[in-house]
Amino acid sequence: MLVLTALALLKLNNLFAVAMLAGIYSLLSAALFTVMDAVDVAFTEAAVGAGISTVLMLGCIALVGQTSKQPPKPAFLPLFVVFVTGGMLVYGTLDIPPYGDPDNPVHHHVADYYLEDSSHDIGIPNVVTSVLASYRGYDTMGETTVIFAAMVGVLLLLVQSPRRRGSYKDSSLKSSYHNSSDNHSMHSTSEDDSYPGDN
């Protein structure tokens, strides 16, 4: 199913259908994660992959139009590179210990400690939560900061105040000056949002 959806994704030209199929792909992978008992990951995948990112893609489609350009002729060098890389990856998996074997090293590094001691260290039944929030608190804080950085990046790229667009044609020297003053004006102007055709 996953492979079929991926192939259809490649073949289709209609971007609306592509966005929908990408959502279906996410939902299928969420089902796969559930089957593999990774419920937390499945949760995230269903909500982010199938939900919000589909909406964001629809938002993009509303901006760029529904059909993609005809793709250029198939290039064979990238295909070759993909096959070689894939082959090397498959070759690499030959050394990996068998899947699902309880004696695998990954299950005995720190996992034993977490499973046995987290209930009286932390007192929370869900080990995933205690690992994420307490044992690995630094990591989660880094993650949160990354999400915050993503927001800052998207806002810097996408939210333009009308003033900056007006000064677009000015010399680029001025724009660095405008940047600092724009940060204040963005707050007030972006609420009654700016449309590209407005001025």
Partner 1 sequence: MEDKIIIRVGAKTLIPFIMVFALYVQFHGDYGPGGGFQAGVIFAAGFILYGLIFGVDMAKKVLPLSVAWLFGSAGVLIFAGVGVVTLLLGGDFLDYSVLAHDPEHGQHWGILLVELGVLTTVFGVMISIFYSFAGRRGLGT
Please identify, among the stretches 22-30, 103-111, 137-145, 164-172, the one whose residues bind partner 1 according to the rule CB under 8 A.
137-145
DSSP code of 68?
A: P
Using CB under 8 A, pick the residue from 105, 125, 171, 173 that binds partner 1: 125
**Binding residues for partner 1 restricted to 56-85, rule: CB under 8 A:** 56, 58-60, 62-63
From the list 131, 89, 76, the residue with the least C-alpha distance to 109 is 131
**Distance from C-alpha of 49 to C-alpha of 29, rounded to nearest angstrom:** 9
> Which runs of consecutive H residues, i.e. helices, occur in 12-52?
15-35, 39-44
Using CB under 8 A, pick the residue from 93, 95, 193, 199 that binds partner 1: 193
- Do the beta carbons of residue 49 and residue 23 sit within 8 Å? yes
Q: Would you give the end-to-end CA distance of the chain in angstroms?
A: 48
Least Å distance, CB 171 to partner 1, is 26
DSSP code of 72?
A: P
Binding mask 12-51 for partner 1 (x = CB under 8 A): ---------------------------xx--xx--xx--x
From the list 88, 25, 85, the residue with the least C-alpha distance to 54 is 25
Q: Which residues bind partner 1 (CB under 8 A)?
A: 39-40, 43-44, 47-48, 51-52, 55-56, 58-60, 62-63, 120-126, 128-130, 132-134, 137-138, 140-141, 143-145, 147-148, 150-151, 154-155, 158-159, 187, 190-191, 193, 195-197
